[in-house]
Chains A and B, each alone.
Chain A
Amino acid sequence: DARVTQTPRHKVTEMGQEVTMRCQPILGHNTVFWYRQTMMQGLELLAYFRNRAPLDDSGMPKDRFSAEMPDATLATLKIQPSEPRDSAVYFCASGHHGNTEAFFGQGTRLTVV
């Protein structure tokens, strides 16, 4: 059945290292979201794409975070350099413009030590 796939599921890295998280949206979906979830802040919207174009990335720290959609089947979120405060669960969600439901992946749990 159709689902959003995120890799890796877990990542432990040292401070200063580059981290890349990947998301495969549901086939045919043209809207992709990246969220970060922490106990303190809940779900924070980091970036939002439609038809592969970034519509809003104001939630991301621009100096270290970047989000791209190289093609319709892949979205990436990169952190360089990573810091301990980036430790969180990162979720990708997709949907189709014209519908109103967002489908979430299982998330990537990132730990920066």
Chain B
Amino acid sequence: SQKIEQNSEALNIQEGKTATLTCNYTNYSPAYLQWYRQDPGRGPVFLLLIRENEKEKRKERLKVTFDTTLKQSLFHITASQPADSATYLCALESDRGSTLGRLYFGRGTQLTVWP
């Protein structure tokens, strides 16, 4: 069955540093991978999507990479700020050939950025 692992449950870094979160998957060949942010008491909010034929995607201070050989995505937040503190979830769709098919989520990494 499909399995999605995010590198650690918690990551603590100092403001201004780059946070790097990892998402590994097995038994999948997703056409795309997404990253979401979740704040306490709220639903996840979409951040970025990267397709299987893209190596890297950027949005402001966010960067995502996707290595289909390693079955891994890395999510980077550069110049991190305390406001970036949240749980970050990766999600893979399992229905190749269909946009917005079933989305399966990792358990998330809780990021804390301290001043």
Contact = CB atoms under 8 A, between A and B. Distances in A.
Interface in B94-115: 98-100, 102-108
Interface string A24-44: 000000010101000001110
A106 B44 CA distance: 9
Interface residues of B, number: 22
A88 B55 CA distance: 36
Interface stretch (A14-22, A65-73, A78-86, A97-105): A97-105
A42 B102 contact: no
A75 interface: no
A96 B42 CA distance: 21
Nearest to A55: B102
A106 B43 contact: yes
B34 interface: yes
B49 interface: yes
A27 B32 CA distance: 25
Contacts of A107: 41-43
Contact of A95 (B43, B100, B106, B108): B100
B107 A98 contact: no
A33 B104 CA distance: 11
B102 A56 contact: yes
30 contacts: A31-B100, A33-B102, A33-B103, A35-B105, A41-B107, A42-B89, A42-B107, A43-B44, A43-B89, A43-B105, A43-B107, A45-B102, A45-B103, A48-B102, A55-B102, A91-B43, A95-B100, A96-B100, A97-B99, A97-B100, A98-B99, A99-B99, A100-B99, A100-B100, A101-B46, A102-B44, A102-B46, A102-B100, A103-B46, A106-B41
